[in-house]
Amino acid sequence: MKNLLEFNNVSYFYQTKESEVNALDNVTFTVEEKSFSTLVGPSGCGKTTILSLTAGLLTPSSGSIILDGKPITKNDGRIGYMFQRDHLFEWRTIWQNIILGLEIQKKHKSAQKLELAENLLKKYDLYNFKNKKPRQLSGGMRQRVALIRTLVLEPALLLLDEPFSALDYQTRLKVCDDVYEIIKSEQKTALLVTHDISEALSMSDKIIILSKRPATVKENMIISFSGGTPLQKREDDNFGNYFEKIWRFLC
C-alpha cells in the first residue's frame, strides 16, 4: 500500500509570551492510502497539534510532512477536517450546510459537485431531511451531515478529531459504525484522534500510540480482525488482547 501521509521527524514548539511549549518531539509515522489510522495518547500530549500540522494550520519547527509525495502547504486544500462539535449552522438548512464548503471554495455552481452532494445525501439516508434545519436532526444524523459536507470537497485525507466524544454512549456506537461505513465505501483515507481505546480498535487498521508531551511515537500497532463492522469487531476474540497491549503502552 502506498503511503499517503508521511511525518518525518516532526518537532513542534508553541511560542507564548512567557515561554516555549514543546508539543512534539521527532514524530515519525505514515498513513497508508485508503487505510484508517488512529492516534491515541494521554490528554494534552499533542494529538490535535499533529492534525493542525497535517492540515497546514501550523508549520513544523523541524522535520517534514509529505502528502501524496508533496509537502503540506499552508491551509492545504487536500485535507478535510471533522471536529468534535459538528459546527453546523443552525440558520441554514441541511442542504445549505452541505454546500457551505463548496460556497467558500466558489465551487457551488459545479454540476459535478452538486450531484455528488445529492448522491451522498441519498446514499446515507439524509435526502428527506435536506430542507430541515440542524436542530430537527439527531446528534448522529448531524455528524453524518458534517461528514458529507467534508466529503463533498473530495479531500485526499480526512482528519477526525474526537468526532464522537460529544455523543452519548449508545449514539456513539451507532455513529462510529455509520461513519466507518461511509469512509470505507467512499474509499477515503482517514486519520482519527480518540481517547477511547475500544473506539480506536474497532475502527483502525493501524494505531499510533503517543507518549505524554512532548509526544513521541511509542508504538505503531497494526490491527487485524477477520473483518466486520466496528460493532462486530468489539466482539472479536482478539479484541481484549489488543486492548490490554495498548493500555499498557499508555500507562
Ligand X SMILES: Nc1ncnc2c1ncn2[C@@H]1O[C@H](COP(=O)(O)OP(=O)(O)OP(=O)(O)O)[C@@H](O)[C@H]1O
Position 5, amino acid: L
Shortest Å, Cβ 211 to ligand X: 11
117 to 15, 95, 98, 102, 133: CA distances (angstroms): 40, 9, 7, 10, 17
- Residue 112 CA to its chain's centroid (Å): 25
Q: Using the rule CB under 5 A, which residue among 30, 35, 48, 97 binds Mg ion?
A: 48
The reply to whether 89 sits near ligand X by the rule CB under 6 A is no
The reply to whether 163 sits near ligand X by the rule CB under 6 A is no
Cα separation of 147 and 150, whole Å? 5
Shortest Å, Cβ 194 to ligand X: 10
For 58, the grid coordinates are: 501550523
Shortest Å, Cβ 210 to Mg ion: 11
Cα separation of 234 and 20, whole Å? 41
In DSSP notation, 152-181 reads TT--SEEEEESTTTTS-HHHHHHHHHHHHH
The reply to whether 247 sits near ligand X by the rule CB under 6 A is no
Nearest to 220 by CA among 241, 199, 204, 236: 204
* Residue 144, binding choice from Mg ion, ligand X, none, Cβ under 5 to 8 Å by partner class: none
Contacts of residue 71, Cβ cutoff 8 Å, sequence gap at least 6 = 64, 65
* Residue 150, binding choice from Mg ion, ligand X, none, Cβ under 5 to 8 Å by partner class: none
The reply to whether 191 sits near ligand X by the rule CB under 6 A is no
Pinpoint the alpha helices (H) of the chain: 47-54, 94-98, 100-104, 111-123, 139-151, 169-185, 197-203, 230-233, 239-250
Shortest Å, Cβ 43 to ligand X: 4
Q: Kindly write out the interface string for residues 210-229 of this chain, putting x where it contacts ligand X by CB under 6 A and - elsewhere.
A: ---x----------------
For 247, the grid coordinates are: 493500555
The reply to whether 38 sits near Mg ion by the rule CB under 5 A is no
Shortest Å, Cβ 199 to Mg ion: 15
* Residue 46, binding choice from ligand X, Mg ion, none, Cβ under 5 to 8 Å by partner class: ligand X
Our CB check for ligand X shows the closer of 22 and 96 to be 22
Shortest Å, Cβ 44 to ligand X: 4
Q: Kindly write out the interface string for residues 29-58 of this chain, putting x where it contacts ligand X by CB under 6 A and - elsewhere.
A: ------------x-xxxxxxx---------
Cα separation of 88 and 141, whole Å? 11
Residues engaged in binding Mg ion (CB under 5 A): 47-48
Residues engaged in binding ligand X (CB under 6 A): 14, 16, 21, 23, 41, 43-49, 213
